[in-house]
Each structure stands twice: as C-alpha cells, then as structure tokens.
Amino acid sequence: MTIRYDGKVAIVTGAGGGLGRCHAIELAKRGAKVVVNDLGGSVSGEGANSEASRAVVAEIEALGGEAMAHGANVADLAQVEDMVAQTMACWGRIDILVNNAGILRDKSFSKGTVEDFRLVTEVHLMGTMHCTKACWEIMKGQEYGRIVVTSSSSGLYGNFGQTNYGAAKMGVVGMMNTLAQEGAKYNVKINALAPTAGTRMTEGLIDEKAFAMMTPDTVTPAVLFLVSEDAPTRTILAAGAGAFAVAKIVETEGMWLPKSDQTPEGIAANWAQISDGGERALQAGFEQSIKMVGQAMEGLGIDPN
C-alpha cells in the first residue's frame, strides 16, 4: 500500500537544504501541505536569509504541491509560536512535525566554550522542545499527530569533538521516550531519527566516497515511515546510505548483591556478571525499578505475592 499524506499539514524545520529540504519535498510529493521552515543561517548558526526556504517552496509548487515558507528561529519560542499560528490560519491543522533544524560548533570539550555549548543545545534541544510544545495541544485536540525528533549516533554513542551536539541529541531521545507515553491516548506518536547523511553539516567529516553514498534521499524514507498513519511510536530509527536499523537503549540483566557485598569492592568483585550476561531492553523508566526490586526480593527470599 502506498503511503500518502493527502489532507495532512506538515512543518519541517531546517528545510532550506540538506535533509530538511528532502523531507519537505518528499512529503509534498505524497500530498502533504508543507511549511518549509529555515532561518537561513550558517552551519554554526550565524546570520539569517529566507532565500533557501523560498527556493524549496518554489520547487514544491513547481511539482504541483502546496507550501509556505517561514523563517522562524527555532531557538526563539515567540517566533515558533508565530509560525504555528500562521500555519493554523492558513490550513487549520498540523498533523506532522519534523524537528530537523540544527547547527554545529564542533570542538573538543577542552577547547569549546560555554557559549558554544549553550547555542548548540538551544537549537537542537530547546528548539525541538519549542516546536513540539507549540504543536502539542493542537495535535492532542485533533487526536492525531506524528512527530519526529532528530537524534544522532553522536548522542547515542558519542563522537570526539561533539560534546555539545551529543548532549543535545541524547536529550531529544529522553524527550521522545516520555512524550510517546503522554501522547499515546491522543494518537500522537513521536519517534527519533538518527541519520547519517552527506550534507552541509557533515561535509569534511566523512570520507569522500562514503559522503557520495550518504545522500539525503537515502534517509528521508525513514522520516516518511515515521510520520505515516501506521507508524510505530517511541522508536529510534537509524538511517543512512539506504540502510536502516532500530537503535535501542538496553541494560544488562545485572545481579543482586547481599548487604555484605553492597560495597565498591563487592561491585568490583562481581563486575563480570554485573556488566555481562546478555542485554535487557527496558520499555519504560519504571521497569528498571521493577527489575531491580524483583532481583532484591529474590535474593532476600521475599515472596512477591
């Protein structure tokens, strides 16, 4: 069955180029009305220019689609709220939000400044929160919403020189994990994309041959799936070069230690079993507590019933 978005309204941030542009155009090709948001600044977040977003709108219109440009800085809540208000005034609903906007200020932690850290987290983490917050009650009220936050392997696994970026990208995963639970009864689904793509933000960071393979159009199908009616929720979908995988946060089974071994020495002595023995995927934060309390009850010989 072909996935389409006829009658749906989508906002895509950072859509003036790279991944965002590809997401916006492909959503429009499949019937969505699209808000092409882009501040038009540099990779490091400096300056502003509306030409890029307007050019993408022109591309969509040339294909027979409907789109509007908006230059909101996602780090500014008032500008985001204006974008949402204009979208509602024009089309009366918001069904899809793709949080894609971002900047880079890559430096080792020793060389990076507090200002660099603040700016990166304001765009990636707070910007994602601003856009999601502005759309949240609308989606709840219409009992339909599909939201994508953009994470990264830099957040999930770490990457030298990207402490600020990695912290922000892991932050949006925590946000997604909780909002998926809060939005469930309203049919608001939220997922995370962890893309690997050759874009303006990754140029010079990826080998040339790999860069040529990692085109944005090899990632966008993941977004199209995650914002479809039958999408999953609370999923981290990695995508790049046409390959797709689900990333999961897991925890080892671990073990309970008797009181005499509940010491740093006891942990060291039992480290092999604590850190190994298979992996256990946790479905919600409270399940960690349930697991550990269960282990303690078993170790202490307490009947859970």
Domain ranges of the chain: 9-247, 250-300
Active site residues: 165
**β-strand partners of 142:** none
pLDDT of res. 158: 87
Of the two residues 42 and 71, the one the predictor is more confident about is: 71
The pLDDT mean for the chain works out to: 91
pLDDT of res. 43: 59
Least reliable range by pLDDT among 42-46, 89-93, 251-255: 42-46
pLDDT interval class at 302 (50, 70, 90): confident
Is residue 199 over pLDDT 60? no
Of the two residues 208 and 220, the one the predictor is more confident about is: 220
Of 47, 2, 52, 45, residue with least CA distance to 25: 52
β-strand pairing of 243-247 with 236-240: antiparallel
Mean pLDDT in residue range 203-207: 60
Is residue 206 over pLDDT 70? no
CATH class of 9-247: alpha beta
Of the two residues 293 and 258, the one the predictor is more confident about is: 258
Mean pLDDT in residue range 167-193: 98
Is residue 212 over pLDDT 80? no
C-beta of residue 52 within 8 angstroms of C-beta of residue 228: no
Is residue 41 over pLDDT 70? no
pLDDT of res. 50: 83
**Cβ-Cβ contacts under 8 Å for 150 (sequence gap 6 or more):** 19, 98, 99, 100, 102, 124, 128, 169, 172, 192, 193, 194, 195
Mean pLDDT in residue range 167-172: 98
Mean pLDDT in residue range 136-158: 96
Amino acid identity of 204? G
Mean pLDDT in residue range 134-152: 98
Mean pLDDT in residue range 272-293: 71
pLDDT interval class at 7 (50, 70, 90): very high
Of 145, 148, 37, 45, residue with least CA distance to 99: 148
Least reliable range by pLDDT among 143-152, 220-229, 275-284: 275-284
If you compute the radius of gyration of the chain from its CA atoms, what whole number of angstroms results?
21
Which two three-digit tokens encode residue 125?
Answer: 């983490």
C-beta atoms surrounding 217 within 10 Å: 13
pLDDT > 70: what percent of the chain? 87
Residue with tokens 């219109």: 61
Mean pLDDT in residue range 147-168: 93
pTM (predicted TM-score): 0.90
